Chain A
Amino acid sequence: MAVRKTSKKPNVSKDELLAFYREMLLIRRFEEKAGQLYGMGLIGGFCHLYIGQEAIVVGLEAAADEGDKRITSYRDHGHMLACGMDPKGVMAELTGRSGGYSGGKGGSMHMFSKEKHFYGGHGIVGAQVPLGAGLAFADKYLGNDRVSFAYFGDGAANQGQIYETFNMASLWKLPVIFVIENNQYAMGTSLQRASSSPELWTRGAAFGIPGESVDGMDVLAVKEAGEKAIAHCRAGKGPYILEMKTYRYRGHSMSDPAKYRTRDEVQKVRDERDAIEHVRELLLQGKHATEEDLKAIDKDIKVIVNEAAEFAKESPEPALEELWTDIYAEA
């Protein structure tokens, strides 16, 4: 496990630190609220919370430019909030309402935003990764110098189509960054129990894809690694792998009792490696903010999240006719 680098004096501005704090906190509070709504029976099916992993999407979005793309699997709420999608639209999609990003037809796992270049939200483990290569292929074909982030987890890292994608992405020098969010558990199966080689960042070696392991609980380390990977892609050198060592605090989904690990294990990560606490300490130690300043941010975010929840409760249900729409283009 990588070691926290809080002691190192970071080369980061006050504004940037505050933005990181704010964005990560927004994701966490949003997810806590989603968990509540799920408990109230307002969200259907499955709901996979991102709590604990916030630094990854926030750090990488800080490194990305306008027009860069992202695609991920079903633990996707954080990615959407980090790339600037509206919390109201995301929450309303969770509750299956017409004000949601997919009009209440996609749910937690299937949301998209063309404007924010977010290409989903996909439910099949690993199957979004070839799509990410397709996005990158289109950008390369169009010659527009954009990169695509294809996110997947440590569980997906054992799916075959990932390696088909590695091969072709490297062969065709596609500008795609494979972000492996290694939260240690593929649902209930730990990495050690599922992967013959636990160093997932090395998995591109056979295809000539450089990779590195990153402390995914350290937003500054994430951003720095993201910048390096993006520069690699934009220079036309092909794909790059970032293995983010992270941890999910909650169960795989809301229906997971998480019997495969101890409470102590979770608590230890919360106490020692929490990404938000890390930035909070940097802000306070560097005297960039006072406790009061941070409380004010907390309060702002609470308002945003509560408004999103209210919107998600009150937005109308999709009309019955919607059952029949968007199967094929209108003739």
Chain B
Amino acid sequence: MAELTMIEAIRAALFRALTDDPDVIIFGEDVGIDGGVFRATDGLIQRFGASRVRDTPLSETLIAGMAVGAAAHGLRPVAEIQFMGFIYPVLDQLANHASRLRNRTRGRLTCPMVLRAPFGGGIKAPEHHSESTEAMLAHIPGLRVVVPSSPPRAYGLLLAAIRDPDPVVFLEPKRLYRSTSEEVEDDGEALPLDKAFVLREGEDVTIVTWGAMVAEATEAAQQLAETGVSVELVDLATLKPIDRATIRSSVEKTGRCVVVHEAPLTAGLGAEIAADLAEHCLTSLLAPIRRVTGYDTVMPYLRLERHYLPNTARIVEAVGGVMEFA
């Protein structure tokens, strides 16, 4: 067992997948010789060769489209888009082809592809280099959207995504790439998809979040514990399909819920979670559901970023409000 950062864990998972399955291929912009914009694929071309780890031209739509074609033919392409903000041209292929191939063919053709993209804030770059538009992807039936929040979950979920028979968009919180190291056992064991992780059990309030916000929520939970508030922390991990059962049963226990995401408020995934709880757990709720999110603005640059991103203080404040209500 080794201590790995998230980026190292991702690389270890890719290494493992390439080793285990000759149908796995990697392509994207600068993933080969340069080792990827964040070095996720560093060293893979030296080990597995240029036929399996392929540098592509700057052509995002094509990268996704070729992945769909190759996947329909039985390969398992793992394509990289350098930043989530570069994913918009790719939506054509994700929404119109990748996510629908199974349905259109009644399962005779499938699309076992993974599209990796760094996402979220924390590197002080504006707009497309830092935004979180996961709700847009989670709205597409047939697509899986997965976000790891720690090195071991990055390793296990990426392996699961590569082995999954359906298309997965794997969004990597770039703020967590190198922020911490954790023990990761490179044993080839995948973690379950479509399953939320209860990272901390508690009695008073459920915090549902994902990605880099898990770290903020963890810190908030610790601070709140000192004031006597017991937080149950749910890392959603797979944003689509949503593990509604885990969220509901947690909230049925605690009676309170705060959803935290970096993405803007309106039509964010927090709205879906709140609506689901309102529909199914109303009688368990002791207080209104609160959302702590980014704002309905453009993801800002450098100095303003810390004001935009939800942080521990905002989460603690929201939980405090919920606790005060009842």
| A and B: interacting chains | yes
**A interface residues with partner B (beta carbon < 8 Å):** 69, 71, 102-103, 105-106, 110-112, 114, 119-124, 127-139, 141, 160-161, 164-165, 167-168, 171-172, 325-329, 331
Q: Which of B197-241 contact A (CB under 8 A)?
A: 241
A135 engages B73 (CB within 8 Å): yes
- B318: CB under 8 A from chain A? no
B66 engages A137 (CB within 8 Å): yes
B104 engages A131 (CB within 8 Å): no
Closest approach, in angstroms, between the C-beta of A94 and any C-beta of chain B? 14
Q: Which of the residues B54, B64, B65, B141 comes within 8 Å of A129, measured between beta carbons?
A: B65
User: Which residues of chain B have C-beta atoms less than 8 A from A123's C-beta?
Assistant: 96
Closest approach, in angstroms, between the C-beta of A2 and any C-beta of chain B? 31
B69 engages A134 (CB within 8 Å): yes
B69 engages A133 (CB within 8 Å): yes
B75 engages A103 (CB within 8 Å): no
Q: Which of the residues A111, A114, A135, A328 comes within 8 Å of B70, measured between beta carbons?
A: A135
In the bound assembly, the distance between CA atoms of A140 and B66 in angstroms comes to 13
A161 engages B62 (CB within 8 Å): yes
Closest approach, in angstroms, between the C-beta of B191 and any C-beta of chain A? 15
- B105: CB under 8 A from chain A? yes
B102 engages A112 (CB within 8 Å): no
In the bound assembly, the distance between CA atoms of A139 and B144 in angstroms comes to 27
Q: Which of B18-57 contact A (CB under 8 A)?
A: 25, 51, 54, 56-57
Considering the complex of A and B, which 10 residue pairs feature the smallest CB-CB distances, nearest first? A134-B69, A130-B65, A138-B73, A164-B59, A131-B69, A164-B62, A134-B66, A134-B70, A110-B104, A326-B103
- B122: CB under 8 A from chain A? no
Closest approach, in angstroms, between the C-beta of B188 and any C-beta of chain A? 21
- B269: CB under 8 A from chain A? no
Given contacts A114-B108, A114-B109, A127-B93, contact A138 B74 (CB under 8 A): yes
User: Which residues of chain A have C-beta atoms less than 8 A from B92's C-beta?
Assistant: 124, 127, 161
User: Which residues of chain A have C-beta atoms less than 8 A from B194's C-beta?
Assistant: 331
Tell me the nearest residue of chain A to B59, going by C-beta: A164
A122 engages B97 (CB within 8 Å): yes
User: Which residues of chain A have C-beta atoms less than 8 A from B164's C-beta?
Assistant: 329
- B71: CB under 8 A from chain A? yes
Closest approach, in angstroms, between the C-beta of A110 and any C-beta of chain B? 4
- B110: CB under 8 A from chain A? yes
Closest approach, in angstroms, between the C-beta of A166 and any C-beta of chain B? 10
Tell me the nearest residue of chain B to A140, going by C-beta: B51
User: Which residues of chain A have C-beta atoms less than 8 A from B71's C-beta?
Assistant: 134
Tell me the nearest residue of chain A to B142, going by C-beta: A327
B56 engages A132 (CB within 8 Å): no
Given contacts A102-B105, A120-B104, contact A130 B96 (CB under 8 A): no
Q: Which of the residues A110, A121, A161, A329 comes within 8 Å of B165, measured between beta carbons?
A: A329
Closest approach, in angstroms, between the C-beta of B18 and any C-beta of chain A? 13
Given contacts A105-B104, A124-B96, contact A328 B241 (CB under 8 A): yes
Tell me the nearest residue of chain B to A138, going by C-beta: B73
In the bound assembly, the distance between CA atoms of A135 and B66 in angstroms comes to 7
Given contacts A127-B65, A130-B64, contact A327 B141 (CB under 8 A): yes
A328 engages B102 (CB within 8 Å): yes
Known: A121-B104, A128-B97, A134-B65; 16 extra A-B contacts, CB below 8 A, are A102-B105, A102-B106, A105-B103, A114-B105, A119-B109, A127-B61, A127-B65, A127-B93, A130-B65, A131-B97, A134-B68, A134-B69, A134-B72, A135-B69, A141-B25, A172-B54
- B171: CB under 8 A from chain A? no
In the bound assembly, the distance between CA atoms of A284 and B269 in angstroms comes to 68
Tell me the nearest residue of chain B to A176, going by C-beta: B69
In the bound assembly, the distance between CA atoms of A37 and B98 in angstroms comes to 31
- B131: CB under 8 A from chain A? no
Given contacts A130-B93, A164-B62, A168-B62, contact A119 B104 (CB under 8 A): no
A112 engages B108 (CB within 8 Å): yes
In the bound assembly, the distance between CA atoms of A251 and B130 in angstroms comes to 46
Show 21 residue pairs from A and B whose CB-CB distance is below 8 angstroms, ordered by the A residue: A69-B73, A103-B106, A114-B108, A119-B69, A119-B72, A127-B92, A130-B64, A131-B65, A131-B72, A134-B66, A134-B73, A136-B69, A161-B65, A161-B92, A164-B59, A165-B62, A165-B65, A168-B62, A326-B105, A327-B102, A328-B166
A137 engages B69 (CB within 8 Å): yes
User: Which residues of chain A have C-beta atoms less than 8 A from B57's C-beta?
Assistant: 164, 167-168, 171
- B17: CB under 8 A from chain A? no
User: Which residues of chain B have C-beta atoms less than 8 A from A135's C-beta?
Assistant: 69-70, 72-73
In the bound assembly, the distance between CA atoms of A328 and B72 in angstroms comes to 15
In the bound assembly, the distance between CA atoms of A60 and B29 in angstroms comes to 35
A160 engages B102 (CB within 8 Å): no
In the bound assembly, the distance between CA atoms of A137 and B73 in angstroms comes to 9
Tell me the nearest residue of chain A to B102, going by C-beta: A326
In the bound assembly, the distance between CA atoms of A105 and B101 in angstroms comes to 11
Given contacts A131-B66, A134-B69, A161-B61, contact A168 B56 (CB under 8 A): yes
A130 engages B102 (CB within 8 Å): no
B73 engages A139 (CB within 8 Å): yes
In the bound assembly, the distance between CA atoms of A195 and B106 in angstroms comes to 38
B241 engages A112 (CB within 8 Å): no
Tell me the nearest residue of chain B to A136, going by C-beta: B69
In the bound assembly, the distance between CA atoms of A328 and B168 in angstroms comes to 11
User: Which residues of chain B have C-beta atoms less than 8 A from A69's C-beta?
Assistant: 73
- B67: CB under 8 A from chain A? yes
User: Which residues of chain B have C-beta atoms less than 8 A from A331's C-beta?
Assistant: 194
Closest approach, in angstroms, between the C-beta of B50 and any C-beta of chain A? 11
In the bound assembly, the distance between CA atoms of A215 and B102 in angstroms comes to 37
B69 engages A132 (CB within 8 Å): yes
User: Which residues of chain B have C-beta atoms less than 8 A from A134's C-beta?
Assistant: 65-73, 77
A133 engages B104 (CB within 8 Å): no
User: Which residues of chain A have C-beta atoms less than 8 A from B62's C-beta?
Assistant: 130, 133, 161, 164-165, 168
User: Which residues of chain A have C-beta atoms less than 8 A from B69's C-beta?
Assistant: 71, 119, 130-138
